[in-house]
Amino acid sequence: MQRGRLVLVTGGVRSGKSRFAEELAIKTAQEVIYVATARITDEEMARRVAKHKARRPDYWRTVEEPWDLNRVLREWGEKGRTILVDCLGTYITNLLLEKGINEEEANLALKDFARVAWSSPADIIIVTNEVGWGVVPPYPLGRMFRDILGSANQEIAYLADEVYLMVCGIPLEIKSLAQSGFEKLFLKKGQA
């Protein structure tokens, strides 16, 4: 079975990550499955989700999944489909705060997710947050979140066919299929 393309879109808050990922999904001209990891817990979050929904084409199918991305990829991951996961940071928050998993369990779950995404016959686009450019959080849970997401981002970027960094709404392609040997030169396994 031939695998699809794996794309990672990262950047800071309000950098244009989601909008750019949506544009990439539209360009695939395939059936799009939008995987929403956010949970609506208050009015402000409801407004945010409504803005995201209003931008998406009506023909896209939305799957809300805050806790089990592997199940979604296995269930919906068919050739000729694009699955857009938005976003990995929210997914990790859900695992830590609502499922109560520890750091080791989270790291194992995310490594498994990266491999499932890489091997899927569908094209997978993952939106994530770049967390290494801010201050060190003053509390243990914040540092654990930052470390888990940073490691997950590295794992997915290593496997990805394409990686984009969003800065001020501008996409910077930092890895593409055309970069032969990129992983061997710059992204050796186990390096931080």
Q: What is the pLDDT of residues 112-127, one digit of tens each?
A: 999 999 999 999 999 9
The two structure tokens encoding residue 177: 């299929």
What is the pTM for the complete model shown? 0.90
Domain boundaries, the chain: 6-83+90-124+133-166
Q: What is the pLDDT of residue 87?
A: 95
What does DSSP assign to residue 133? T
Q: What is the pLDDT of residue 13?
A: 87
User: What are 125's strand-pairing partners?
Assistant: 7, 84
- Name the residue among 154, 157, 174 with its Cα closest to residue 165: 174
Residue type, 38: A
Is 179 or 108 the better-scoring residue by pLDDT? 108
- Give 41's pLDDT tier (boundaries 50, 70, 90): confident
State yes or no: is 31 an active-site residue: no
pLDDT exceeds 60 at position 100: yes
What values do phi and psi take at 171, rounded to 5? -80, 130
pLDDT digits (tens, 9 = 90+) for 44-94: 988 988 988 888 999 999 999 999 999 999 999 999 999 999 999 999 999
Residues 96 and 145 sit within 8 Å (Cβ to Cβ): yes
pLDDT exceeds 60 at position 18: yes
- Name the residue among 177, 172, 174 with its Cα closest to residue 161: 177
CATH topology of domain 6-83+90-124+133-166: Rossmann fold (3.40.50)
Task: Quote the percentage of the chain above a pLDDT of 70.
Answer: 92
Q: What is the pLDDT of residue 178?
A: 61
Catalytic residue among 5, 19, 39, 52: 52
